[in-house]
Amino acid sequence: MTVSNRSTPKEQLMIAIAPEVAKIEEAMQRDLQTATSGCDPLLVAVLEYGVFNGGKRLRPLLVLLAARLASHAGDKIVDLAIAFEYLHAATLFHDDVIDRADIRRGKPSVNKAFGEIAAILGGDFLHSRSLFLIGSLGGPEALGIFCQATNAMVDGEFLQLRNAENYNLSEDDYFSAVKGKTALLIAATCEIGALAGGATREKQKVLAEYGLGLGTAFQIIDDLLDYQGDPALTGKAVGNDFQEGKMTLPLILALGGASPEDRKRLLFLLEKDEARESGFAEAYAVIDKNEGFALSRSRAESIIAAAVAGLEFFSEEGNMDTIAILRALAEYVLVRKK
Amino acid sequence: MTVSNRSTPKEQLMIAIAPEVAKIEEAMQRDLQTATSGCDPLLVAVLEYGVFNGGKRLRPLLVLLAARLASHAGDKIVDLAIAFEYLHAATLFHDDVIDRADIRRGKPSVNKAFGEIAAILGGDFLHSRSLFLIGSLGGPEALGIFCQATNAMVDGEFLQLRNAENYNLSEDDYFSAVKGKTALLIAATCEIGALAGGATREKQKVLAEYGLGLGTAFQIIDDLLDYQGDPALTGKAVGNDFQEGKMTLPLILALGGASPEDRKRLLFLLEKDEARESGFAEAYAVIDKNEGFALSRSRAESIIAAAVAGLEFFSEEGNMDTIAILRALAEYVLVRKK
């Protein structure tokens, strides 16, 4: 990376990925214009509002980087890459309806700004467009990988519904839900990028593993931020998961290692609906004392370390810039504040 | 058709299509089992409840019949055909969430039986599976036709939102919304069936026109049943559209031909929220007097006549049974009571 050593790692990363992110934004502008040509102006407004909302574009970026490691960087790849951002946006449209969330990235959510009907239908439009792009540009193999990931997302949501208020949830149960809900789609970005770039099956699998680790760690940090984040940065209040009885990793690991008294107290705070809100500060202290936060972070760190180690498979002269970005992305996941 | 002449036309049709419908049911059972293998039991229950709900299977049936006219009837066609039933089911899942509908075909809707979250996510699962089947079995051309139709559906819904309470809506506006909302997807069933069956582009287009007519007439009759249906047969109360201020064809045609006094009265009944419910019987009488119902039915009849006439293109010896079914389906659309 030809960037100054004086900037922070995050700044260096942002500079390194800026050209790809610009390509992604431009491709989405162009493609949405084509896809919505002749459509109702309200539909166009809903899609533009929901898609151009300051997202990090992590998913399409990974497609481009994986394709680059496979030594191909044709123009068609970016149109394939944006399918993942559409799908991600479609998921957020529907998630915010399901959660009745009013705010997304510090702005009114699509359902808040345009109503529930617009959010459901707009999500369906983007979902359909994403599959169209994957199927027509990536071929049947890419479509198969993509749909396996989208179906796993739905299944992961059902698993999470089932897991809610199951206070005996194991670490394995948590990781199964995270895999379906988040990580498999990130793995699919890398796998499909590699496939489209002409990589061998072995290389595709190695990159999919990197994506799986990145996605899993991403979700662990997300769940940590729900306890420890700065609302001014994350744009949402802390304590939502606990107050909804969601069994995320800090709680699971704290319960696993707690003394009988601490365990009893945590379960009491969780089981009483009234206690959950007022008891968040106390629960936080008990989780902290039992190393729920520290252990969760350490799980994320090990997963990221393994993901980064896998990249060595690609260590050849022409790949070093791309590997540096993938490594920086993985490290950024651990330190992100929002 | 080798059926007794003593049975009614509807009975004859049901007997003629029974083997295809059985194939469709069997294929959906098999495919859903594959697609949900290892999935959360609640997700499986939601999908089975919503898919095996006594639907008429019109859409996959049309795929099979169109493929048969194109002289191909391979096994793969039925797996392509069920994609249309999945998409249809996904649309109903989401529509019932949007309309907060409690009843679907005389039973609790999916959102009523399993909740809104399950209905949104279950619809997403079926949507994704439908595109996967089309893309992997039908190829990029079929995927393009399919996605054009699904995007038009979303656009048609937005158009309908925009049209609500626009009391100056023209017949053209109505037909544009119907095309997007209903007819283009029925056209796509015929076009993709013909394509998969190996028909020429010309034959594909002729069959697409048949489907467009069938779908349009289907929607006109649907809108008539909303005024004139027997709740015991349709499973829903009459007058919903009027009470919601929806501008469907009977109202548009009645307003178009009414005397200034009748027009004023109809608009009064429409514009006053309180008057809409109590005024339905009076509005019905004014629409009837101004031939809104008779003219709508006559529009549907002309459209069906044109659709049936187009089938002559396929008149060869081996096709006569299939053409008889397609003609009977078109005629059934006009007389259906539910």
For B177-234, the DSSP string reads HHIIIIIHHHHHHHHHHHHHTT--HHHHHHHHHHHHHHHHHHHHHHHHHHHH--HHHH
Contact B39/A at CB under 8 A: yes
Give the gap in angstroms from C-alpha A95 to the nearest C-alpha of chain B: 9
Contact A162/B at CB under 8 A: yes
Measured in residues, chain B has a length of 338
Cα A216 versus chain centre, distance: 8
d(CA A21, CA A56): 9
CB contact under 8 A, A144 and B132: yes
B42 neighbourhood in chain A, CB within 8 Å: 158, 161-162
> What number of other Cβ atoms are within 10 A of residue B239's Cβ?
17
Contact B309/A at CB under 8 A: no
d(CA B197, CA B327): 20
> Is residue B108 within a helix (H) or strand (E), and if so which, with residue range?
strand B107-108
Report the CATH fold assignment for B9-332: Farnesyl Diphosphate Synthase (1.10.600)
Nearest to A147 by CA among A98, A112, A185: A185
Partner residue facing A151 (CB), from B35, B158, B159: B35
d(CA A262, CA A289): 9
Contact B43/A at CB under 8 A: yes
Q: Tens-of-pLDDT digits for all 338 residues of chain B? A: 454 557 888 889 999 999 999 999 999 999 999 999 999 999 999 999 999 988 889 999 999 999 999 876 666 899 999 999 999 999 999 999 998 999 888 899 999 999 999 999 999 999 999 999 999 999 999 999 999 999 999 999 999 888 887 888 999 999 999 999 999 999 999 999 999 999 999 999 999 999 999 999 999 999 999 999 988 888 778 898 998 888 999 999 999 999 999 999 999 998 876 766 678 999 999 999 999 999 999 999 999 999 999 999 998 888 999 999 999 999 999 998 88
d(CA B194, CA B63): 7
Residue of A nearest to B163 (CA): A40
CB B94 within 8 A of CB A105: no
Contact B54/A at CB under 8 A: no
d(CA A15, CA A3): 7
CB contact under 8 A, A39 and B122: no
CB A162 within 8 A of CB B40: yes
Contact A39/B at CB under 8 A: yes
What is the SS3 assignment for B97?
helix
Residue A79: both structure tokens together: 């149109």
pLDDT value of residue A306 = 97
Q: At what angle do helices B280-289 and B292-310 cross, to 10 degrees?
A: 60
> Is residue B103 within a helix (H) or strand (E), and if so which, with residue range?
strand B103-104
Give the pTM: 0.92
CB contact under 8 A, B131 and A144: no
Q: What is the 3-state secondary structure (H, E, C) of chain A?
A: CCCCCCCCHHHHHHHHHHHHHHHHHHHHHHHHHHHCCCCCHHHHHHHHHHHCCCCCCHHHHHHHHHHHHCCCCCCHHHHHHHHHHHHHHHHHHHHHHHCCCCEECCEECHHHHHCHHHHHHHHHHHHHHHHHHHHHHHHHHHHHHHHHHHHHHHHHHHHHHHHCCCCCCCHHHHHHHHHHHHHHHHHHHHHHHHHHCCCCHHHHHHHHHHHHHHHHHHHHHHHHHHHHCCHHHHCCCCCHHHHCCCCCHHHHHHHHHCCHHHHHHHHHHHHCHHHHHHCHHHHHHHHHHCCHHHHHHHHHHHHHHHHHHHHHHHCCHHHHHHHHHHHHHHHHHHHCCC
Contact A34/B at CB under 8 A: no
d(CA A324, CA A311): 10
CATH number, domain A9-335: 1.10.600.10
Task: Locate the domains of chain B by residue range.
Answer: 9-332
Partner residue facing B155 (CB), from A40, A136, A144: A40
> What number of other Cβ atoms are within 10 A of residue B76's Cβ?
12
Nearest to B310 by CA among B239, B220, B243, B211: B211
- A and B: number of Cβ contacts within 8 A: 119
Contact B149/A at CB under 8 A: no
Contact A42/B at CB under 8 A: yes
Nearest to B193 by CA among B324, B91, B82: B82
Give the gap in angstroms from C-alpha B304 to the nearest C-alpha of chain A: 28
Partner residue facing B124 (CB), from A94, A144, A162: A94
Contact A37/B at CB under 8 A: no
B118 neighbourhood in chain A, CB within 8 Å: 158
CB contact under 8 A, A158 and B39: yes
Contact B138/A at CB under 8 A: no
Contact B285/A at CB under 8 A: no
Q: Tens-of-pLDDT digits for all 338 residues of chain A? A: 454 557 888 889 999 999 999 999 999 999 999 999 999 999 999 999 999 988 889 999 999 999 999 876 566 899 999 999 999 999 999 999 998 999 888 899 999 999 999 999 999 999 999 999 999 999 999 999 999 999 999 999 999 888 887 888 999 999 999 999 999 999 999 999 999 999 999 999 999 999 999 999 999 999 999 999 988 888 778 898 998 888 999 999 999 999 999 999 999 998 876 766 678 999 999 999 999 999 999 999 999 999 999 999 998 888 999 999 999 999 999 998 88
Which residue of B49, B79, B124 to mutate against A (max A Cβ within 10 Å)? B124
Partner residue facing A132 (CB), from B122, B143, B158: B143
d(CA A73, CA A149): 24
B155 neighbourhood in chain A, CB within 8 Å: 39-40, 43, 125
B132 neighbourhood in chain A, CB within 8 Å: 131, 143-144, 147
Partner residue facing B128 (CB), from A94, A117, A151: A151
> Is residue B107 within a helix (H) or strand (E), and if so which, with residue range?
strand B107-108
pLDDT value of residue A5 = 59
Cα A68 versus chain centre, distance: 21
pLDDT value of residue B8 = 87
Nearest to B218 by CA among B94, B98, B324, B307: B307
Contact B129/A at CB under 8 A: yes
d(CA A157, CA A150): 11
Torsion angles phi and psi, residue A235, rounded to 5: 80, 10
Contact A154/B at CB under 8 A: yes
Amino acid letter, A335? V
CB A139 within 8 A of CB A86: no
pLDDT value of residue B72 = 62
pLDDT value of residue A8 = 87
Partner residue facing B43 (CB), from A120, A147, A158: A158
Name A13's Cβ contacts closer than 8 Å, sequence gap at least 6: A325, A328, A329, A332
Contact A117/B at CB under 8 A: yes
Amino acid letter, B184? L
CB B81 within 8 A of CB B28: no
pLDDT value of residue A73 = 59
Contact A40/B at CB under 8 A: yes
CB contact under 8 A, B124 and A35: no
pLDDT value of residue B105 = 84
d(CA A64, CA A70): 10
Give the gap in angstroms from C-alpha B179 to the nearest C-alpha of chain A: 13
